[in-house]
Structure 1
Amino acid sequence: MKKIKKKKFAKLAAVNVLVASQLLLAACSNQNEQASGNSEVYDPESKVEVNWTAILHTASPPTDVVLKEIEEATNATIQFNWVPDASKEERITAALASGELSDMVSLTMLTNSSVRQSLKSGMFWDVEKYLDDYDNLKLISEDIRTSASIDGKLYGVPFQKDIARSGLLIRKDWLDNLGLKVPTTLDELYEVARAFTQDDPDGNGKDDTVGFGDRSDLRYSSFKTLSSYFGTPNGWAVDENGKFTPEFTTQAYKDTMNFSRKLYENGYLDQDFAVTAKTDQQQKFAQGKTGIYTGLVDIKNLKTMAQGVQDEMEIVPVNKIKSPDGEYHIWSENSGVGGLMAFPKSEVKTEAELKRLLQFVNDLIDEEVFMLMTGGIEGTHYELDENGAFKILDDDLWQKDVQPFSSSRPSEITHSLKDSDPSKQLVNELIKENAEFADLDPTVPLDSQTANERGTELQKIIIDATIKYIMGEIDEKGFDAEVEKWKNSGGDAMTKEYEEAYKKAQN
């Protein structure tokens, strides 16, 4: 990865022995400034150069227009090393293995075994004891800190997100064209998928639409959300005796597979989902090829992408599909933790450097910088109307200058905006409502050595088997055989380790 010259903090002068001794005495008197045998002094006002490996969720990196404003507001020079979301697993794990890291690394895959191993190895600073020294970082809740920790250590500043953001986006104009109501049950949702595929919802007289658009990532595709609607536990279930059960051994998971398989067999689910990336899934929806999209937060982006292509598009967000048990369920993404902004000890060598970088992250949470990373420059990219509602002035300009920064905001919950787009404002409200019936993954704050070493490899067994089942390439016996393979390859050991960690945490 491209390196930039490190910011050099004040060094002990050796020209004058007396001056050097006085500086050393002053530095040693402050216990908080001791780190790695180096007694540099942390200066929060100093300009800092930051080399940041961040995840890119858009097709192109941002221009420098807003970046310059962010740099001025944080007193920093920032060099982003952008990693496309589609290749983040390969790129991040390779960087961790090689040790070619930046001052700050966005680690968004906390369940990835390579990431967890690297965190546990001591490669990154434990920042827990420093957070309360900063006005924004000290507001990070104990629940989020706990969920982001491994063995009680917090190896980076948590990305703070809403606890559960999933749901469906459905073409409202297509529903109206076909005389259908917004679905509230799984049966109604299936009927919408069928009608969107077979009943010419766009009225062009062609057989060119599909109900569910989808992508290869089971976690953020329709499957995980559908599994919530069927009442599948989020990752694992734990009973009153502390016994852990993996989600894919439950009947609800199999019911979800059967539902998805039926959608696929009948053509109501994108036939190319297994090889479709997120950006392609978005394009298909924006171009009017699919009518159901999973992911509430993408509503404004999809509407923007559809401009000039599907100007008649209307989207209705849906966060409640009643489960067979009569209740509402939705899975939580890592209990409101979107990953960590981690600081490698190989690059951040002293406590003083760490503290200055933590000040930088703290400054990113300030409302001024939040608005820059969210909306851009007021009057150029956005405006606030007389009711204080947020409105983008130029979508194309906003996408080029601003949008790529949004996924790197340290907190999406510290500040809130009222959106001038009623549908986006509704999405914001539905996401808040999701917290009332969100299902948490009980293993998020727990550690398993097997999961750290082979978790990704084991997970791939189930992911591949699930996709093959949906596509009709294996039957239930074949899927059960893959579950047994998972158990024998380390799954049983992982289960036992989680149970032991859970018991320890309860005591």
Structure 2
Amino acid sequence: MKKKLAKIIGVNVLVASQILLAACSNNNEQASGDTEKYDPESKVEVNWTAILHTASPPTDVVLKEIEEATNSTINFNWVPDASKEERITAALASGELSDIVSLTMMTNSSVRQSLKTGMFWDVEKYLDDYDNLKLISEDIRTAASIDGKLYGVPFQKDLARSGLLLRKDWLDNLGLEVPKTLDELFEVARAFTEDDPDGNGKDDTVAFSDRSDLRYSSFKTLSSYFGTPNGWQVEEDGTFTPEFETQAYKDTMNYSRDLYKNGYLDQDFAVTAKTDQQQKFAQGKAGIYTGMVDIKNLKTMAEGIQDEMEIVPINKIESPDGGNHIWSENSGVGGLMAFPKSEVKTEAELKRLLQFINDLIDEEVFMMMTGGIEGTHYETDSNGAFTILDNDLWQKDVQPFSSSRPSEITHSLVDADPSKQLVNELIKENAEFAVLDPTVPLDSETANERGTELEKIIVDATIKYIMGEIDEKAFDEAVDKWKKSGGDAMAKEYEEAYKKAQG
């Protein structure tokens, strides 16, 4: 633990020194090149550091089509999602960056620090010059900004995508209804674990397939159902309270602790990666999965293994207050496509890259990055319903591109798979009761410098509590450590930034 912490601190220090050097040198570089004319029709070579959410990078089949449509040559530097924190942080520290860097970890200390210190271009004043980029809403621009500056093109996402997927065939086998309350969900979890839901006569199922990432595991979604604020709560007097100091957060911990104690929550969740979590569900070892957007992937993974699988998506579990709540992922912002000044040295180069991003949002290219090549990877019927023709081919040629689409909301598809289309509709409905994180558009120097390190204190304590390794007193001691290590300072800084923003 000490070695790992020392490594994190060392990297952060290195990031800071590299950032200052980059900020100084790049001012001189831009001064000499800003008079260069911008030619939107010129072919552009793009080096792009992007996040890979699949096991393998895509083939070149669809890439060539994207390049032709955008008049570009694209060189992807794919960073696996599981190692993005370490890889992106190291790249920021070393200065070994690409023309475009996908920064999806907007709360990461090193990322925020690099953005604040001028390492990347502020693109706000350029967006309205492009037909697609000008459509980015003011709310999304504000949420993606730091100190009023927009250091990249925001990845546009739906406001709130979270929810649960349950084995509908297991519910039917056990004579159970789709749960509507937390108590009903707990009973389903019990039955999925104890009552042989697949009817094979073996004690070989668990309810919740889960993973170590508290944000995207069951915990954050369950926390929403209990009415926990998203990250922070703004009190009536303008002060900020962290979510883990609320009773709703502790109620969620106790609920998850009971799930774990009874064996209804994957006993290996603390060391399980997303792909393994998906495999356990697809192989029929688990019956509840957090993440509605993954429904089609899970069904595809289950082909030939669990062909009888039926999945029902759920976006509403009634909270103790009688309402519905679901956390919003960064207020509809999935991160930034940022342009390092060390690589993009002139305004003309920046404008050409912005044209490239703008072109990626065109419906033609959006469909390439979503479905692939019509007639080869997908087809649409007379009603416009979208169908993948060959899942294996689509996964190899197309799927890895989907997470790099600049916008998931500019165009909408009617999915020929009724369950996936239902998920799309439920995600839209989530916007009606989405809970926003009030700190997304705010800045805190402490969060920039030590936010990731401080977050780890709480994450570790929460996981240990769920697993029964510590009691409530020990958890409260971890919270006190968080406060003394910078948490109180962070809360004060957010309070000041909030009052300043309120005018």
Q: TM-score, normalised by structure 2?
A: 0.94
Q: 1:216 & 1:244 partners in 2: Cα distance?
A: 27
Structure 2 residue 337 is matched with structure 1 residue 338: no
Q: Identity, % of aligned pairs? A: 88
Number of the residue aligned with 2:19: none
Alignment partner of 1:51 out of 47, 50, 55: 47
Number of the residue aligned with 1:278: 274
Residue segments in structure 1 that go unaligned for 5+ positions in a row = 1-33
> What is the CA-CA distance between 1:299 and the residue it aligns to?
0.3
Number of the residue aligned with 2:479: 483
Q: 2:47 & 2:301 partners in 1: Cα distance?
A: 31
SS in 1 for 2:32: coil
Structure 2 residue 371 is matched with structure 1 residue 379: no
Number of the residue aligned with 1:102: 98
* 1:358-369 equivalence runs, <5 A: 358-369=354-365
* 1:36-435 equivalence runs, <5 A: 36-38=31-33, 39-435=35-431
> What is the CA-CA distance between 1:205 and the residue it aligns to?
0.6
Q: 1:349 & 1:427 partners in 2: Cα distance?
A: 43
Q: 1:116 & 1:146 partners in 2: Cα distance?
A: 15
> How many residues align structurally?
474
SS in 1 for 2:198: coil
**Cα deviation code 1:59-83 (max 9, x no counterpart):** 1100000000000000000000000
SS in 1 for 2:382: coil
Q: 1:481 & 1:129 partners in 2: Cα distance?
A: 46
Q: 1:310 & 1:347 partners in 2: Cα distance?
A: 48
SS in 2 for 1:129: helix
SS in 1 for 2:74: strand
SS in 1 for 2:387: strand
Q: TM-score, normalised by structure 1?
A: 0.93
Amino acid at match of 1:429: E
**Cα deviation code 1:287-330 (max 9, x no counterpart):** 00000000010000000000000000000000000000000000
Q: 1:456 & 1:423 partners in 2: Cα distance?
A: 37
SS in 2 for 1:80: strand
Where does structure 1 differ by over 6 angstroms across 4 or more consecutive aligned residues? none
Q: 2:372 & 2:413 partners in 1: Cα distance?
A: 14
Q: 2:245 & 2:255 partners in 1: Cα distance?
A: 16
Amino acid at match of 1:442: P
Q: 2:114 & 2:284 partners in 1: Cα distance?
A: 43
**Cα deviation code 1:435-454 (max 9, x no counterpart):** 00000000000000000000
Amino acid at match of 1:377: I
Q: 2:424 & 2:30 partners in 1: Cα distance?
A: 43
Amino acid at match of 1:397: L
Alignment partner of 1:500 out of 471, 487, 496: 496
Amino acid at match of 1:324: P
SS in 2 for 1:36: helix
SS in 2 for 1:151: coil
Q: 1:325 & 1:247 partners in 2: Cα distance?
A: 17
> What is the CA-CA distance between 1:387 and the residue it aligns to?
1.1
> What is the CA-CA distance between 1:37 and the residue it aligns to?
2.5
Amino acid at match of 1:450: T
SS in 2 for 1:253: helix
Q: 2:425 & 2:320 partners in 1: Cα distance?
A: 25
> What is the CA-CA distance between 1:35 and the residue it aligns to?
4.5
Amino acid at match of 1:352: A
Amino acid at match of 1:504: K
Amino acid at match of 1:37: S
SS in 1 for 2:77: strand
SS in 1 for 2:46: strand
Amino acid at match of 2:501: A
Q: 1:241 & 1:425 partners in 2: Cα distance?
A: 43
SS in 2 for 1:37: helix
Q: Which of these two proteins has the greater Rg computed from alpha carbons?
A: 1
> What is the CA-CA distance between 1:420 and the residue it aligns to?
0.2
> What is the CA-CA distance between 1:84 and the residue it aligns to?
0.4
**Cα deviation code 1:190-211 (max 9, x no counterpart):** 0111100000000011111000
> What is the CA-CA distance between 1:241 and the residue it aligns to?
1.7
Q: 1:98 & 1:187 partners in 2: Cα distance?
A: 50
**Cα deviation code 1:337-385 (max 9, x no counterpart):** 0000000000000000000000000000000000000000000000001
Q: 2:233 & 2:498 partners in 1: Cα distance?
A: 12
